[in-house]
Structure 1
Amino acid sequence: MKIKWFIFFLSIMTISFIFYSFIEKKADPPIKIGVLLIGENRYEKLAGLKKGLADIGYKDKELTYIVKNANEQQDKLEVMITSLLNKQPHVIVTLGGIETVQLKEKLEKENLYIPVVFAGVAAPKELGLINDYRSPGGQYTGINNYHTSISGKRLELFKELIPSLKRVHLLYDEEIEVSRLSLQETVEAAGKLSLEVIPWNVADRSYKNKIAENIEENDGLLILPSFRIEALTEEFIQLIKKYYLPSMALYEHEVEKGFLAGHGASFYEQGYQAARYVSSIVQGNAPKDLPVELPDNIRFMINKQVSEQLGVTLNHEMLSNAELVRLKEPDKGVKDK
């Protein structure tokens, strides 16, 4: 009798092993997520995206990330896009405006349909990516990081923070539409504030010399959205330190590196928020039916260490409403959050 029971259980175990081996072999292949970025700074968005999908419940083995980085070279983006499309991803996540616009041009040229989630783009409707914020109507949806729309507000906060501010040097990128739109918003706000602003185009490499020739007492510096401006952070920090310029940025990492203040949605949080869209598309929803969202959180940050170094007097009421950020030592070989 014992031998019969032993044979019975052995048979059950053998059948179970064969069954589960068969199931595992038949398991769905990993979901291929294409990721397109213009440069290193935007890896923070990828870190947020991965964490967001993990928090939703996706396991590492269920996802494959195909990452293409143009390393701050706009002319290399097209090559990266072609390489990415050859991998046939199920969905593509673009980590900024220039990536999304150039991908759109390629998809239209090749007449390809692949769902695209933009993890933070300023003015997606104005760029022609969507028809409407509630009903995008195409193959694109994602996060409007609102950085163009709040450019005027950023200048207003800068003036409130430093009451002695008389003029502001605006750094923008003439070659990037979002940057031009942001400049327009900022100039309009300056008129309402009766504040003088001087625009400088960073695509003109003589901009630093021109600023140096025009700096006066009680001047400040404010940067506007552009991938090229993101890549020039260290250059701006040198300018700020050399001429003791109070400065306003967009992102936390810029304030950590030496800008006085910042106002915007962080790279990491934009990526994290975009994970919801990727999950929804993977589950069968179409981008055209997924409303574009604003950032979950827009931060106002101040670096008090920088204010002390500059010797500038800040509005104490503004300090109580801000998130205090400290100078951060340069990372040593660490790229992802």
Structure 2
Amino acid sequence: MLAGLLLLLAACSGTDGESGGEAQGGQAGEQVNIGISQLVEHPSLDQAREGFVAALEDAGYKEGENLAIDYQNAQGDVNNNMTIAQKLVNDDNDLILGIATSSVQAITQTTQDIPVLFTAITDPVKAGLVESMENPGGNVTGTSDTHPDAIKNTIASIKEFFPEAKTVGIVYNSGEENAVVNVESAKKAIEENGLTSVEATVSSSSEVKQATESLVGRMDVLYVPKDNTVVSALESVLTVANEQKIPAFVGEGDSVERGGFASYGLNYHDLGYSTGEMAVEVLKGKAPSEISVGIPENLELMVNKQTAELLGVQFTEEQQKKITFVE
């Protein structure tokens, strides 16, 4: 009887070992459940989410096989964030991804136990998500979409392309923390470049067009920061700007592709992919506190060719060498 029992225990141990190896390698095995909370749908955030999922798939976590994703969208209403966070926590997900600052804040207020990753966050330290970029602490880490030179370079390019410009209009949601951080940085860069700023604030996407119209006649160029409320209604902003032949400098490469004039931008799919690679590390046993917050590695000056033609902008040979034109 004793010999039989020992053989049975050895067999069970061998089976567990094989199962654990398969799960760590991302092969068919234990089911992995991941919750995703996204504040609003717009191209930058959507691409970040798609990049995140792509990294998981490349590591062997296949949706519909050994991976289940519960994607929830707050539809731009921050009041929905907490309800979503509570659902994802109560469903005992193995990991939760938050996309946009307020979505992640709701998750971190709801759980200190489940690993939490974030992406497309302007300032995770100021938002209270991590202790520092190098040493996040707790159960949270992820990627910031703010390259230290992005806003500074974008504002400086205003003087390069429109040397006669004096006033920069800014439309943003004063209740969106990441937008406020972006605007503070932009205003500093505006002042450093000898420009002045005028602002119009909104609380919802339905107010964006009217706010932009209120700046007509008071601005030479427009700056649209990384603001989820405004960017989700970017077409209404650009309608006003293009009708009035006002150049719209934007905070994201995706917004250039949608018709903004120019930006020093980054690839949000790549940003999300980096976050997905972090998720793989966590699923394999690494604590979020051991993974430093990532930032974009590369910036490129992106200009929308059609918008430039609409505005009648001519580029020198030197300028063309450093511009990535999009249509």
Q: Which TM-score band applies after superposition, normalised by the shorter structure? A: 0.7 to 0.9
CA contact (8 A) 1:148 1:181 kept: no
Correspondence for 2:196: 196
Aligned CA-pair RMSD: 2.6
Residue type matched to 1:324 in 2?
Answer: F
CA contact (8 A) 1:160 1:315 kept: no
Query: What CA distance in whole angstroms lies between the structure 1 residues aligned with 2:55 and 2:31?
Result: 17
2:34 alignment partner, SS class: strand
Residue type matched to 1:157 in 2?
Answer: S
Correspondence for 1:245: 246
2:35 alignment partner, SS class: strand
Question: Over residues 104-146 of structure 1, what are the superposed CA-to-partner deviations in whole Å (9 max), with x where a residue is unaligned?
Answer: 2233xxxx41111112211111111111111111111111211
Moved more, 154-163 or 30-39: 154-163
Query: What CA distance in whole angstroms lies between the structure 2 residues aligned with 1:175 and 1:208?
Result: 18
Give the drift of 1:37.
0.4
Query: What CA distance in whole angstroms lies between the structure 1 residues aligned with 2:133 and 2:170?
Result: 29
Correspondence for 1:279: 280
Give the drift of 1:297.
2.9
Give the drift of 1:213.
5.1
CA contact (8 A) 2:86 2:107 kept: no
- Percent identity, aligned pairs only? 22
Correspondence for 1:15: none
Q: How many residues align?
A: 301
Give the drift of 1:208.
4.7
CA contact (8 A) 2:208 2:236 kept: no
CA contact (8 A) 2:135 2:291 kept: yes
Verify: 1:291 aligned to 2:295, yes or no: no
Query: What CA distance in whole angstroms lies between the structure 2 residues aligned with 1:98 and 1:315?
Result: 42
Cα distance, 1:272–1:173 mapped onto 2, change above 3 Å: same
TM-score if structure 1 supplies the norm length?
Answer: 0.81
| Structure of higher CA gyration radius | 1
Question: Over residues 303-333 of structure 1, what are the superposed CA-to-partner deviations in whole Å (9 max), with x where a residue is unaligned?
Answer: 111111122344553332121110xxxxxxx
* 1:103 equivalent among 102, 107, 124: 107
CA contact (8 A) 1:163 1:315 kept: no
Cα distance, 1:210–1:290 mapped onto 2, change above 3 Å: closer
Question: Over residues 263-292 of structure 1, what are the superposed CA-to-partner deviations in whole Å (9 max), with x where a residue is unaligned?
Answer: 232322221111111000001000111111
Correspondence for 1:257: 258
Residue type matched to 1:232 in 2?
Answer: A
Give the drift of 1:97.
1.2
Correspondence for 1:156: 156
Structure 1 unmatched runs, 5+: 1-19, 327-337
CA contact (8 A) 1:147 1:225 kept: no
TM-score if structure 2 supplies the norm length?
Answer: 0.83
1:222 alignment partner, SS class: strand
Cα distance, 1:52–1:153 mapped onto 2, change above 3 Å: same
